[in-house]
Structure 1
């Protein structure tokens, strides 16, 4: 049985990925590794620090020490550290947002990227640009930071978070071909909007990231 390691910045993510794993890869053993410092220190600093990058690389190494065949890191804010870890280990090390970026580039040329944190918006937008360049596709990015949404949800005001994000999806993203959600936590807002409120595809990373991880595991089995 193949084993997939999932590196999270919050224990709240484990149930979300367990549900996806049960559907997408029921025969794969899942091990969760949680370190909240990676996101909290990044938010506090306003950028991804070298110390956090080293911590991410160590976390990835610990998944392989525990017997994982591949590792998926589920936080987009620390994406550059995941790219570095991928160079240092022989086993597959995956960014959760890579599959989402690939699908966005394949779907349209004017791509909207929505986030509630600038520390997540910047690396997600950069990843979409890089994937487009790798595929030789010309794109235009429309980046939007949902000001106040993150502070609201951290204060326990989920309704305000959802209202701000919902407004971004229906107004700021009106003229794009596809919308990328930089944080998986924003996906619930899409399902709560009235039917037809968003006219274009909206992509979220967990499901696409797990599909990418399954392909990596299947590649190892060949």
Structure 2
């Protein structure tokens, strides 16, 4: 069962499990993410719908927003996600510490949410993430048509202000458990590997929990299984 509602002129969706476990997952989507009045990419896409079904079957309440489309980590999307969290916590009976699942550019928002609500974050799962917007721009420079389109999207998202979004240090310092899941044969952000490797090494040095999984496109069904296992491991302390 799910409900949609309009908040801050953005459609939001809330999925209810049949047997709630008391924990919630906030999804922060990538470029293809969308929410409409009666549907979303997490319903219409078969693979993503299966992910939601698995999370619901495990007892998780799942929520997300359209987040102004291709926001590229802008402040408007960050504030909206934070306020959406506040609304859900006021209306639903849930543990205040939530899990965050961020895909692609959603990792830019998740990192900024850490600064606003770190004490209310239980864990973060990053799926083929964009950690550094600058590195992604460098990656796409040779694809001239796409690069021009990307630059226009970023200019619109950030009101033509020059931005330097590199969230490496934030994820290194994050005290909560962090999990990377990467599809190795289809990754829009393949040049982020050196940054992810550096984050993992730094977290290990400081004994901060970090998991890292590589998955082939054909084995995407295992993404949610690995994710749920990680979430459950970090629910022993309420």
TM-score class, shorter-chain normalisation, is 0.3 to 0.5
Higher helix share: 1
TM-score normalised by L of structure 2: 0.43
- TM-score normalised by length of structure 1: 0.46
Q: Which has the higher contact order (CA 8 A, sep 6+)?
A: 1
